[in-house]
Amino acid sequence: FKINDEEVYAIVRDITERNVALQRQLDFELEKERGKILTEFIRGASHEFRTPLATINTNLYLLANSENPDYAGKKIDQIGNQVQRLTRLVDTQLMIVRLNDASQLNTQAVDLHYVLDVLHHDALETYGEQPTLTIDVPQDLPMLLGDGAYLRTALEQILDNAYRFTPPG
């Protein structure tokens, strides 16, 4: 065709097939990455389950071979604590599944100051004064948009890990 008496040649190529191939490649890479993440998650989760199960199993053995009622009571308490730990792990796994479905989130304005005050109070009741927990949040912090219950649970998990793995002082 001509533009201003100049001949112009155009080559038109259908790149649909190339784009489809690129999309398939991206989808494949994404699935590989999801597989890696799932594998790591399962590896971590199974380690988290093995520890309390081993503790329960050991305490059951000791309990079965003990004739001391005080010792047996102590072992029963330890077993109960490990069962509660396993229950929390299962609940966390279920929460992860729910978090992947955004329709199950209760998104609303969340006052982070209130959430942190409640967590601070609960942490002091649960763990005591050591290690020291200090909250330093700017007063002009805006409200957050999110699910307050899930935010609180996430922060509780972080605090629990910090308390369990931070030495006193």
Question: What tens digit of pLDDT does each residue of 33-82 get?
Answer: 887 887 787 777 777 778 888 888 888 888 888 888 888 888 888 888 88
What distance lies between CA 128 and its chain's CA centroid?
25
Which of 97, 137, 133 shows the shortest CA–CA distance to 114? 137
User: Looking at the predicted structure, is the pLDDT value of residue 1 above 70?
Assistant: no
Q: Which two tokens stand for residue 49?
A: 């389950």
Q: Which two tokens stand for residue 82?
A: 């490990």
pLDDT band at 5 (very low <50, low <70, confident <90, very high): confident
As a whole number, the mean pLDDT across the chain is 83
Spatial distance between the Cα atoms of 133 and 155, rounded to a whole number of angstroms:
13
**What is the biggest distance separating any 2 CA atoms in the chain, rounded to whole angstroms?**
108
pLDDT of res. 101: 67
Find the range with the poorest average confidence among 52-61, 94-103, 109-118, 135-144: 94-103
Cβ contacts of 118 within 8 Å, gap of 6 or more: 152
